[in-house]
Structure 1
Amino acid sequence: MVMPALGALPGPAGIAAMQSVNRVAVRPPFMALFLGAAVLCLLLAGWELAGERRPLVLAGAALHLVGAVGVTVAANVPLNDALAGADGSAVQQWGDYLRRWTAWNTVRTAASLAAGALLVVALAGTG
């Protein structure tokens, strides 16, 4: 709902709003949650590889690391970095940014939901 709302703004206002969101996001509370989840997935995967090797735990951890963290690092952050230097006249760039960022965010959201479901099922003892 956020990206369509930003997309409905005139180009310069949308660019400025997203630049502000990107600056505010990179703060300790968000980074602790984002990186903390990645560290937990790495620990879970390591624990599983050293022990039981439950496939759903390994799949959930890998899906989160690749689909959420990997997509963020490889796709969304570079798009954010490119937009950071744009000024209000970059309306063409804004349209391309919205399309690409939203597509990658959809991948990231689906991967996060699937990873969470796999981990819940596996760690609840049914996987």
Structure 2
Amino acid sequence: MMNYGAAENSASNNLHLITITENQDLSVDNSAWEKVWLLDSHLEVVMLVSVILNSMAAGIIFIFSNTVMPSLATLNADVGINIMNTINTIIVNPLFIIAFFGGLVSAYPTRVMMKNPDLYSKPARYYALASTVIFFLGEFMVTVTQNVPRNNALLVVDPESEDGQNYWEHNFLKRWIAWNTARGIFAAIAAALGGLSLCFMRKSPVE
């Protein structure tokens, strides 16, 4: 005679085991995703911030070379000079400084990783170093030595004068834009290298 109660209990137990197994698999999957997507240390957080800020700097620079400056070049020299001087005055504020130069925070994780080669893989260390050096020399130093001096010179020219017009058309629009484009390229490269460093931060030093 068939024992229906035993059969029901067996089916219930099997269903319970299946549920437990599925929950365990889901837990493992969630753990794996967390390991992949969640930042594991403060160094990763700082490097991610650097990548974001480097990308923001590259975006700001791109807008100027691609849109703002070509638009100003279509205007009369005196109008273009006055608008650019206004932009240069307003744009210097704490938020802009953070967005434009904040990517240099990558120097911190770079220093820590270079001092601890046994803890961090070679790609993570050298991508971080390359990102920091390229951003410092290619974005920060170009800004300080090439773009800012031209901004300052533009502030003191007479927009109505022939000298002011010549400076605007033959120096500022050509050389400022060229250096601006260069620093944008360097900022984008630094962001990419920082991202690569971030990807390798969890790799074993022996890998």
8 Å Cα contact 1:22-1:80 kept in structure 2: yes
1:45 aligned counterpart, secondary structure: helix
1:9 aligned counterpart, secondary structure: coil
RMSD (Å), alpha carbons: 1.6
Q: Which of 155, 165, 170 is the aligned partner of 1:91? A: 165
Instruction: Write the distance in 1 (CA, Å) between the matches of 2:113 and 2:130.
Output: 11
Q: Which of 41, 63, 77 is the aligned partner of 2:106? A: 41
TM-score, normalised with respect to structure 2? 0.57
CA shift, 1:42, in A, is 2.2
Moved over 4 A (4+): none
8 Å Cα contact 2:107-2:129 kept in structure 1: no
TM-score, normalised with respect to structure 1? 0.91
Instruction: Write the distance in 1 (CA, Å) between the matches of 2:109 and 2:150.
Output: 30
Instruction: Write the distance in 2 (CA, Å) between the matches of 1:84 and 1:41.
Output: 33
Instruction: Write the distance in 1 (CA, Å) between the matches of 2:90 and 2:146.
Output: 19
2:75 aligned counterpart, secondary structure: coil
Q: Deviations over 1:78-113 (max 9, x none)?
A: 110111111212100001111010000011000000
1:69 aligned counterpart, secondary structure: helix
Gaps of 5+ in 2: 1-66
Gaps of 5+ in 1: none
In our comparison, the structure showing a higher alpha carbon Rg is 2
Instruction: Write the distance in 1 (CA, Å) between the matches of 2:196 and 2:107.
Output: 18
AA of the residue aligned to 1:82: A
CA shift, 1:4, in A, is 0.5
Count residues in correspondence.
Answer: 126
AA of the residue aligned to 1:94: W
Name the residue aligned to 1:105: 180
